[in-house]
Homo-oligomer: A and B are copies of this chain.
Amino acid sequence: MKLLILAGDGIGPEVMAEVVKVIEWHKRQGLDFVVSHDLVGGAAYDAHGTPLTDATMERAQGVDAVLLGAVGGPKYDNLDFSVKPERGLLRLRKEMDLYANLRPAQCFDALADHSSLKRDLVAGLDIMIVRELTSGVYFGEPRGVSREGNERVGINTHRYTESEIARVARSAFELARKRSNRVCSMEKRNVMEAGILWHDVVEEVHKAEYADVELSHMLADAGAMQIVRAPKQFDVIVTDNLFGDLLSDCAAMLTGSLGMLPSASLGAPMENGRPKALYEPVHGSAPDIAGQGKANPIACILSFAMALRYSFDLGAEADRLEAAVEDVLAEGLRTPDLGQDEDTRSVGTQEMGDAILKALD
């Protein structure tokens, strides 16, 4: 089971160090993980002048799962667009063809009071946002800033093919079958023709292959409203790359558990039957707290739990790791992002990682 760790920038290396401990623990239990490390994002730019070298890209294609920390930071704000840290991550997503980005928005019981939403609206929340990750306005051509007459014009192209929509819709329906069997698809078909195609293809796939799953459609603006009004109405949400970016961040934030949320980006099965896969926390590189040892490693650790489940079919091991996380929360351990009250104890990154290891035993 080959893993490539790309810790990246900001708090990436700190939180990934705790994941490495968790991997070591699993190796001691007899699981045969082979781990290698490489650079991505600003760290790769600093070393090689590019946010992802061809050599790293090749290594990523050769492993079973890539574990990514985070990319970006103010230091790189003025870099040319083509070498910004984010381009490294986007290249991985595109070239590995990781079309289904699974973003659970889950509210941990111990943290329900930490949400900006009222407790009863989020306690027990467990929705899965499936975001298309390889197409749309992120990758469409033509794109760029050019000059027309006296002024500059900025262009990006939102583009989806039928097969791109169909495959991510299938991912959503498959997931729904293992959950509460409901999918809500979001687009803006009232103003975008590409939204009509999105809607129609999701309908067609549903009718032909997943008629047993309950399907609904919502305009993305109404979806944003409903996510903040009554998030528990949803089970699986499927949407495009850009809407998925905003809606999943919005949903993640309102769980009160942003520092807790993992994600999986999955592509087609490889020869060994495992899907191409990259796992990363939903949070970013958090440059404001980087290097201070106070970042929450849980999102990154739970991303590894997703790897256990989706790449290696080790569901029991994933459950056990997730239970260990719940345990330390129940004990009252909190990194600073999770808030404090009289029943909790403030810990740093390493202490949190160590506590999870102990809970695993």
Binding site for B on A (CB under 8 A): 72, 81, 84, 86, 90, 116-118, 121, 137-138, 140, 143-145, 148, 151-163, 188, 190-198, 201, 220-222, 224-230, 242-243, 245-247, 249-250, 252-254, 258, 284
What distance in Å separates the Cβ of A132 from its nearest Cβ neighbour in chain B?
12
Q: Is the CB of B229 within 8 A of A246?
A: no
What's the Cα separation between A258 and B226 when bound, in Å? 12
Using CB atoms, name the residue of chain B closest to A121: B116
**CB–CB A194/B156 < 8 A:** yes
Most chain B CB within a 10 A radius of its CB, from A163, A221, A226: A221
State how many angstroms separate the Cβ of A166 from the closest Cβ of chain B: 9
Q: Could you tell me the distance between the alpha carbons of A152 and B151 in the complex, rounded to whole angstroms?
A: 34
Query: Taking A86-B191, A221-B249, A222-B249 as contacts, is the C-beta distance between A158 and B145 under 8 angstroms?
Result: no
Chain B residues positioned under 8 Å from A242 (CB to CB): 188
A250 to B229: give the CA distance in the assembly, Å. Answer: 9
When chains A and B are docked, how far (Å) is the Cα of A303 from the Cα of B149?
Answer: 38
Selected contact of A154 from candidates B148, B152, B195, B249, CB within 8 Å: B195
Q: How far is the CA of A144 from the CA of B192 in the complex (A)?
A: 8
- Expressed in whole angstroms, the Cα–Cα distance for A32 and B330 within the complex equals 67
CB-nearest residue of chain B to A225: B253
* Nearest B-chain residue to A231, judged by Cβ: B116
Q: If the complex has contacts A72-B190, A153-B160, A160-B154, are A224 and B249 also in contact, measured as CB distance less than 8 A? A: yes
Indicate if the CB atoms of A197 and B154 lie closer than 8 Å: yes
How close is A114's CB to chain B, nearest CB, in angstroms? 11
Determine whether the beta carbon of A152 is less than 8 Å from that of B162: yes
CB pair B163–A151 under 8 Å, yes or no, is yes
Assess the B151–A161 pair: CB atoms within 8 A. Answer: yes
**In contact, B190 and A84 (Cβ under 8 angstroms):** yes
Given A188-B242, A198-B154, A220-B246, A193-B145 contact (CB < 8 Å): yes
Residues of B within 8 A of A190 (CB): 72, 84, 86
How distant is A280 from chain B, measured CB to nearest CB, in Å? 14
**Which of A81, A154, A195 gathers the greatest number of chain B CB atoms within 10 Å?**
A154
A70 shortest CB reach to chain B, Å: 13
Q: Is the CB of A158 within 8 A of B160?
A: no
Give chain B nearest CB distance to A263 CB in angstroms. Answer: 13
CA distance A196 to B144 in the complex (A): 9
Contacting pair A193 B116 (CB below 8 A): no
Minimal Cβ-Cβ distance residue in B for A85: B190
Contact indicator B154/A155 (Cβ below 8 Å):
no
Contact status B193-A156, CB under 8 Å = yes
Q: Which residue of B lies closest to A166 (CB)?
A: B151
Cα A226 to Cα B144 in complex, Å, equals: 28
